[in-house]
Amino acid sequence: MRRRLTLLVAATTVLVLIAFLVPVALLVRQVAEDRALRRAAIVTQTVVPLIGTDGLQLSLEGQDLPVTVFLPGGRSVGAPVEASPAVRLAQIRNAALQVETPTGREIVTPVVTGNGTAVVRTFVAADELTRGATQAWLVLAGLGAALVLLGLVVADRLARTLVAPIADLSAVSHRLARAELDARAAPAGPPEVREVAGALNHLAGRIQDLLREEAEHVADLSHRLRTPLTALRLEAETLRDPEESARIAAAADGIERSVTAVIQQARRRGAEKAGGCDATPVVRDRVAFWAVLAEDTDREVRRELPDHPLPVAVSADDLAAALDAVLANVFAHTPDGTPFAVTLAPRPGGGAVLTVADGGPGFPARGMLERGSSGGGSTGLGMDIARRAAEAGGGALHLGTGPDGGAVVRLDLAL
């Protein structure tokens, strides 16, 4: 936009200068020509009174233009030239003439004397007709170029004052797209741009309000869920089998933790990113939780977990939710008795690599990473939860196939 405005001003300035300088250049040439002809007329007026006197020859020798006086009887005085057709025509018609020639302009003036008609011939060379015009044209051309450059500088400054507020609006919109909801545009520039800045600020405020309302709705949902969870936990305590009671209570506790994690995630949406955690105890705790269900479904669980801390840039709740989502897919989409393995290893450059592999039929051909897409009749949100958790910490989620054809899910967790 800035370049287009500059080009528009440059084109307009050039057109205005052409419309102004061309007539001025023609006028300068006409003035130079009139000045030369006026000199010739003065010379002629000086010579005419001396025709027929002894001072004619002396007067002709002192002129700066070539002057010839053709006297009656065919004799001439002054510059030695032949009588031209203009001279003869002036003698016949007794009328002054101006004749253009390739080398200049011939001016003839008849003078009636007692012996007949004499003709005064003055010749103005072509360079005399345009003397000073070339220099004036160069000055006009330089002035025009200077005005064009000045116009470009002024146009660039004005375009910058227009483009800078628009660039600020673009930067603010990109910040809002990166979830920096506190970004606001400073109203500046033309009234239209200031109006757009106000509308963008209003939109950002409205987004904050909607997210705040969403967080409150999630909080309300949590309170509604805590009552049935409490009832479920009380029912678990009434069971006679202590193991069954403990397993159901643990499941209820897991649901409550998931609900709490959803609430915390919703409330910090648009705020600063959550801190990291040590991945080793989180993974060990979640694998131990799922190992109980794996034992009930005759699944072999292979664990390769380090005995030292592995800090990652994902919060403990998000990491636990991601691993729960992946392991839940294993139990939901593979038959009972299918083994699976959970591996946690250091990541080159810092962080950790969490891998879950199973011996099931593997992933469908496509769609597993698309939110809401599932090849097994579920909601399709499990892999999306794991993906968002990995990306929130600067990592990524990778899906693959193991040597035996089973599914392999790898979460790269940055430090």
Q: Which tokens go with 3?
A: 């370049």
Which residues fall within 8 angstroms of residue 178, CB to CB, at 6 or more apart? Answer: none
| DSSP run (H or E) holding 410 | strand 407-413
What counts of helices (H) and strands (E) characterise the chain? 10, 12
* pTM higher than 0.75: no
3-state secondary structure of 67: strand
Residues 6+ apart with CB under 8 A from 142: none
Pairwise CA distance, residues 129 & 370, whole Å: 86
Q: Is 403 exposed, middle or buried (0-12, 13-18, 19+ CB in 10 A)?
A: exposed
Contact predicate 389/321, CB 8 Å: yes
Place of tokens 């060379």: 125
Mode of pairing for the β-strands spanning 340-346 and 301-304:
parallel
As its CATH architecture, domain 273-413 has 2-Layer Sandwich (3.30)
- Boundaries of every domain in the chain: 2-133, 210-271, 273-413
The pLDDT of residue 266 is 61
Q: In whole angstroms, what is the distance from residue 157 CA to residue 174 CA?
A: 26
Beta-carbon count within 10 A of 362 CB: 18
Question: What pLDDT sits at residue 263?
Answer: 66
pLDDT for 379: 43
Q: How far is CA 107 from the centre of its chain?
A: 68
Q: What's the token pair of residue 406?
A: 């089973």
> Which mean pLDDT values do the consecutive 10-residue runs of the chain (415 residues) have?
80 87 89 89 86 78 83 84 88 87 89 85 87 88 90 84 85 87 86 89 90 76 71 77 79 74 61 72 92 88 93 88 88 90 92 92 60 48 80 86 88 90
Distance CA 150, CA 266 (A): 57
- Contact between 408 and 402 under an 8 Å Cβ cutoff? The reply is yes
Type of residue at 100: E
Four-residue CA torsion sign, 10, 12, 14, 16: negative
Is residue 48 within 8 Å of residue 109, measured between CB atoms? yes
* Domain 2-133 -> CATH class: alpha beta
pLDDT at 226: 66
Q: Which residues contact 102 (CB under 8 A, 6 or more apart)?
A: none
Are 97 and 86 in contact by the 8 Å Cβ rule? The answer is yes
pLDDT value of position 202: 92
Measured distance CA(97)–CA(109) in Å, rounded: 7
pLDDT of residue 267: 58
Q: Are strands 352-358 and 340-346 parallel, antiparallel or unpaired?
A: antiparallel
Long-range Cβ contact pairs of 151-158 (< 8 A, separation 24 or more): 151/9, 151/10, 151/13, 152/6, 152/9, 152/10, 152/13, 154/9, 155/5, 155/6, 155/8, 155/9, 155/10, 156/2, 156/6, 158/5, 158/9
pLDDT of residue 10: 83
Whether 273-413 and 2-133 are alike in CATH topology: the answer is: no
pLDDT at residue 13, rounded to an integer: 85
